Amino acid sequence: MGFSPEGWGYDMLAATGMTVSVAISGFLAGGILGCLGAAATFSRFAALRFVAASYTTVLRGIPDLLVIYLFYFGSSSVISTVAAMFGAQGFVGAPAFLTGTLAIGVVSGAYQTQVLRGAVLALSKGEIEAGRAYGMPPFLLFRRIILPQAARFAIPGIGNVWQLVLKESALISVIGLVELMRQAQIGAGSTRQPFSFYLTAAALYLTITFVSGRGFRIAEQRAMRGVRKAV
Protein backbone atom coordinates (compact mmCIF):
# COMPACT_ATOMS: atom_id res chain seq x y z
CA MET A 1 0.00 0.00 0.00
CA GLY A 2 1.10 3.56 -0.40
CA PHE A 3 1.36 6.19 -3.09
CA SER A 4 4.90 5.53 -4.28
CA PRO A 5 5.26 4.51 -7.98
CA GLU A 6 5.21 0.84 -7.02
CA GLY A 7 2.48 1.39 -4.40
CA TRP A 8 -1.13 0.42 -4.87
CA GLY A 9 -2.66 3.61 -3.46
CA TYR A 10 -3.66 5.18 -6.78
CA ASP A 11 -5.06 1.92 -8.10
CA MET A 12 -7.18 1.54 -5.00
CA LEU A 13 -8.44 5.13 -5.27
CA ALA A 14 -9.26 4.69 -8.95
CA ALA A 15 -11.13 1.50 -8.07
CA THR A 16 -13.03 3.40 -5.38
CA GLY A 17 -14.11 5.82 -8.10
CA MET A 18 -15.30 2.88 -10.18
CA THR A 19 -17.25 1.51 -7.21
CA VAL A 20 -18.95 4.86 -6.69
CA SER A 21 -19.79 5.24 -10.37
CA VAL A 22 -21.21 1.74 -10.79
CA ALA A 23 -23.19 2.21 -7.56
CA ILE A 24 -24.56 5.58 -8.68
CA SER A 25 -25.55 4.37 -12.13
CA GLY A 26 -27.16 1.24 -10.70
CA PHE A 27 -28.94 3.34 -8.10
CA LEU A 28 -30.29 5.74 -10.74
CA ALA A 29 -31.40 2.85 -12.96
CA GLY A 30 -33.12 1.44 -9.89
CA GLY A 31 -34.71 4.82 -9.27
CA ILE A 32 -36.34 4.78 -12.69
CA LEU A 33 -37.56 1.21 -12.17
CA GLY A 34 -38.71 2.14 -8.67
CA CYS A 35 -40.81 5.05 -9.98
CA LEU A 36 -42.35 2.81 -12.63
CA GLY A 37 -42.92 0.06 -10.07
CA ALA A 38 -44.52 2.39 -7.55
CA ALA A 39 -46.72 3.89 -10.26
CA ALA A 40 -47.75 0.37 -11.25
CA THR A 41 -48.74 -0.54 -7.67
CA PHE A 42 -51.19 2.37 -7.69
CA SER A 43 -52.45 1.51 -11.15
CA ARG A 44 -56.09 1.05 -11.94
CA PHE A 45 -55.24 -2.10 -13.91
CA ALA A 46 -54.95 -5.32 -11.92
CA ALA A 47 -52.41 -6.73 -14.38
CA LEU A 48 -49.97 -3.87 -13.73
CA ARG A 49 -50.42 -4.18 -9.97
CA PHE A 50 -49.72 -7.90 -10.26
CA VAL A 51 -46.56 -7.30 -12.29
CA ALA A 52 -45.29 -4.79 -9.72
CA ALA A 53 -46.09 -7.10 -6.81
CA SER A 54 -44.33 -10.07 -8.40
CA TYR A 55 -41.35 -7.91 -9.35
CA THR A 56 -40.78 -6.74 -5.78
CA THR A 57 -41.46 -10.17 -4.24
CA VAL A 58 -39.15 -12.08 -6.57
CA LEU A 59 -36.27 -9.62 -6.69
CA ARG A 60 -36.28 -9.08 -2.95
CA GLY A 61 -36.43 -12.81 -2.27
CA ILE A 62 -33.55 -13.94 -4.45
CA PRO A 63 -29.85 -13.43 -3.61
CA ASP A 64 -28.32 -10.52 -5.51
CA LEU A 65 -25.37 -12.68 -6.49
CA LEU A 66 -27.72 -14.95 -8.42
CA VAL A 67 -29.23 -11.96 -10.24
CA ILE A 68 -25.74 -10.76 -11.15
CA TYR A 69 -24.85 -14.20 -12.54
CA LEU A 70 -28.11 -14.24 -14.52
CA PHE A 71 -27.38 -10.87 -16.06
CA TYR A 72 -23.76 -11.60 -16.77
CA PHE A 73 -24.19 -15.03 -18.31
CA GLY A 74 -27.58 -14.16 -19.77
CA SER A 75 -26.39 -11.09 -21.66
CA SER A 76 -23.15 -12.85 -22.58
CA SER A 77 -25.06 -15.71 -24.15
CA VAL A 78 -27.21 -13.25 -26.10
CA ILE A 79 -24.10 -11.42 -27.28
CA SER A 80 -22.36 -14.71 -28.08
CA THR A 81 -25.34 -15.77 -30.20
CA VAL A 82 -25.26 -12.47 -32.07
CA ALA A 83 -21.48 -12.70 -32.46
CA ALA A 84 -21.82 -16.27 -33.78
CA MET A 85 -24.11 -14.94 -36.51
CA PHE A 86 -21.27 -12.73 -37.59
CA GLY A 87 -18.87 -15.62 -37.53
CA ALA A 88 -17.23 -15.17 -34.11
CA GLN A 89 -16.35 -18.32 -32.20
CA GLY A 90 -17.16 -19.30 -28.63
CA PHE A 91 -18.01 -17.26 -25.59
CA VAL A 92 -18.10 -13.47 -25.75
CA GLY A 93 -18.30 -11.70 -22.40
CA ALA A 94 -20.76 -8.87 -21.83
CA PRO A 95 -19.38 -5.46 -20.78
CA ALA A 96 -19.09 -5.78 -17.00
CA PHE A 97 -19.97 -2.19 -16.15
CA LEU A 98 -23.23 -2.30 -18.08
CA THR A 99 -24.18 -5.72 -16.72
CA GLY A 100 -23.36 -4.66 -13.18
CA THR A 101 -25.37 -1.48 -13.52
CA LEU A 102 -28.35 -3.38 -14.88
CA ALA A 103 -28.20 -6.07 -12.20
CA ILE A 104 -27.89 -3.53 -9.37
CA GLY A 105 -30.58 -1.42 -11.01
CA VAL A 106 -33.07 -4.25 -11.24
CA VAL A 107 -32.49 -5.35 -7.64
CA SER A 108 -32.49 -1.88 -6.12
CA GLY A 109 -35.52 -0.98 -8.25
CA ALA A 110 -37.51 -3.56 -6.30
CA TYR A 111 -36.50 -1.99 -2.99
CA GLN A 112 -37.10 1.54 -4.27
CA THR A 113 -40.56 0.53 -5.46
CA GLN A 114 -41.45 -0.35 -1.89
CA VAL A 115 -39.90 2.81 -0.45
CA LEU A 116 -41.69 5.06 -2.93
CA ARG A 117 -44.96 3.20 -2.46
CA GLY A 118 -44.71 3.76 1.30
CA ALA A 119 -43.90 7.44 0.75
CA VAL A 120 -46.94 7.97 -1.47
CA LEU A 121 -49.14 6.14 1.04
CA ALA A 122 -47.88 8.51 3.74
CA LEU A 123 -49.30 11.53 1.87
CA SER A 124 -52.42 12.93 3.41
CA LYS A 125 -55.43 12.06 1.30
CA GLY A 126 -57.00 15.44 2.00
CA GLU A 127 -54.30 17.29 0.09
CA ILE A 128 -54.78 15.15 -2.99
CA GLU A 129 -58.54 15.65 -2.77
CA ALA A 130 -58.01 19.39 -2.34
CA GLY A 131 -55.80 19.40 -5.44
CA ARG A 132 -58.49 17.57 -7.39
CA ALA A 133 -61.15 19.96 -6.07
CA TYR A 134 -59.14 22.84 -7.55
CA GLY A 135 -59.39 21.07 -10.87
CA MET A 136 -55.73 20.12 -11.17
CA PRO A 137 -55.08 17.69 -13.99
CA PRO A 138 -53.36 14.45 -12.80
CA PHE A 139 -49.90 15.38 -14.01
CA LEU A 140 -49.94 18.80 -12.35
CA LEU A 141 -51.26 17.19 -9.17
CA PHE A 142 -48.40 14.74 -9.31
CA ARG A 143 -45.78 17.40 -9.96
CA ARG A 144 -46.97 19.98 -7.45
CA ILE A 145 -48.52 17.96 -4.62
CA ILE A 146 -47.49 14.32 -4.70
CA LEU A 147 -43.85 14.43 -5.85
CA PRO A 148 -42.47 17.09 -3.48
CA GLN A 149 -44.03 15.50 -0.42
CA ALA A 150 -43.40 11.89 -1.38
CA ALA A 151 -39.75 12.80 -1.99
CA ARG A 152 -39.57 14.13 1.54
CA PHE A 153 -41.01 10.97 3.07
CA ALA A 154 -38.88 8.76 0.86
CA ILE A 155 -35.46 10.19 1.78
CA PRO A 156 -34.72 7.95 4.80
CA GLY A 157 -35.76 4.79 2.95
CA ILE A 158 -33.91 5.82 -0.20
CA GLY A 159 -30.84 6.43 1.96
CA ASN A 160 -31.06 2.85 3.17
CA VAL A 161 -31.36 1.57 -0.39
CA TRP A 162 -28.28 3.59 -1.38
CA GLN A 163 -26.24 1.99 1.42
CA LEU A 164 -27.47 -1.38 0.23
CA VAL A 165 -26.54 -0.62 -3.37
CA LEU A 166 -23.09 0.54 -2.38
CA LYS A 167 -22.38 -2.69 -0.53
CA GLU A 168 -23.98 -4.74 -3.27
CA SER A 169 -21.63 -3.21 -5.82
CA ALA A 170 -18.87 -5.30 -4.20
CA LEU A 171 -20.57 -8.35 -5.72
CA ILE A 172 -19.92 -7.00 -9.22
CA SER A 173 -16.30 -8.06 -8.65
CA VAL A 174 -17.33 -11.65 -9.40
CA ILE A 175 -17.97 -10.73 -13.04
CA GLY A 176 -14.58 -9.08 -13.40
CA LEU A 177 -15.31 -5.36 -13.23
CA VAL A 178 -12.26 -3.77 -11.62
CA GLU A 179 -13.97 -1.92 -8.80
CA LEU A 180 -12.73 -1.66 -5.23
CA MET A 181 -13.30 -5.29 -4.31
CA ARG A 182 -11.73 -6.68 -7.49
CA GLN A 183 -8.77 -4.31 -7.20
CA ALA A 184 -8.22 -5.52 -3.64
CA GLN A 185 -8.26 -9.10 -4.92
CA ILE A 186 -5.70 -8.24 -7.58
CA GLY A 187 -3.48 -6.48 -5.05
CA ALA A 188 -3.86 -9.29 -2.52
CA GLY A 189 -2.93 -11.84 -5.16
CA SER A 190 0.19 -10.13 -6.38
CA THR A 191 1.61 -8.93 -3.06
CA ARG A 192 0.49 -11.86 -0.88
CA GLN A 193 -0.84 -9.40 1.66
CA PRO A 194 -4.57 -10.20 1.54
CA PHE A 195 -5.34 -8.78 4.97
CA SER A 196 -3.86 -5.36 4.24
CA PHE A 197 -5.71 -5.07 0.95
CA TYR A 198 -9.11 -6.24 2.14
CA LEU A 199 -8.81 -4.07 5.24
CA THR A 200 -8.02 -1.06 3.05
CA ALA A 201 -11.02 -1.90 0.89
CA ALA A 202 -13.19 -2.16 4.02
CA ALA A 203 -11.92 1.21 5.24
CA LEU A 204 -12.67 2.82 1.86
CA TYR A 205 -16.19 1.35 1.81
CA LEU A 206 -16.70 2.58 5.34
CA THR A 207 -15.61 6.07 4.31
CA ILE A 208 -18.08 6.13 1.41
CA THR A 209 -20.98 4.83 3.52
CA PHE A 210 -20.15 7.27 6.30
CA VAL A 211 -19.90 10.31 4.03
CA SER A 212 -23.00 9.44 2.02
CA GLY A 213 -24.91 8.64 5.22
CA ARG A 214 -24.10 12.13 6.44
CA GLY A 215 -25.23 13.53 3.09
CA PHE A 216 -28.59 11.80 3.36
CA ARG A 217 -29.05 13.03 6.91
CA ILE A 218 -28.45 16.62 5.79
CA ALA A 219 -30.85 16.13 2.88
CA GLU A 220 -33.46 14.80 5.27
CA GLN A 221 -33.07 17.74 7.60
CA ARG A 222 -33.43 20.15 4.69
CA ALA A 223 -36.48 18.36 3.35
CA MET A 224 -38.15 18.29 6.76
CA ARG A 225 -37.78 22.05 7.35
CA GLY A 226 -41.00 23.50 8.61
CA VAL A 227 -42.69 20.13 9.05
CA ARG A 228 -44.37 19.78 12.39
CA LYS A 229 -43.32 16.62 14.17
CA ALA A 230 -45.72 14.60 16.29
CA VAL A 231 -42.97 12.78 18.16
Footprint on this chain of other proteins (rule: CB under 8 A): 57-58, 61-66, 69-70, 72-74, 77, 80, 91, 163, 166-171, 173-174, 181, 184-185, 188, 192-199, 201-202, 205-206, 209-210, 213
Query: Angle at the Cα of 48 (from 42 to 52), degrees rounded to 5?
Result: 75
Nearer to other proteins, 72 or 153 (CB): 72
As a whole number of angstroms, the distance between CA 60 and CA 198 comes to 28
State the nearest-atom distance from the C-beta of 191 to other proteins, in Å.
10
CB 63, min distance to other proteins, A: 3
Length of the chain: 231
Least separation in angstroms between CB 72 and other proteins? 8
Q: Which is nearer to other proteins, 153 or 197 (CB)?
A: 197
Question: Rounded to an integer, what distance in angstroms lies between the CA atom of residue 65 and that of residue 201?
Answer: 19
Q: Measured between alpha carbons, how far is residue 213 from residues 11, 99, 105, 176, 204 in Å?
A: 25, 26, 20, 28, 14
Q: Which is nearer to other proteins, 192 or 228 (CB)?
A: 192
Comparison of 145 and 158: residue with beta carbon closer to other proteins? 158
Helical H segments across 86-146, by residue range: 96-121, 125-133, 138-141
CB of 19 to other proteins, least distance (A): 10
C-alpha span between 174 and 138 (Å, rounded): 45
Closest approach, Cβ 218 to other proteins, in A, equals 18
Question: Closer CB to other proteins, residue 158 or residue 181?
Answer: 181
Residues 13, 30: Cα–Cα separation, whole Å:
25
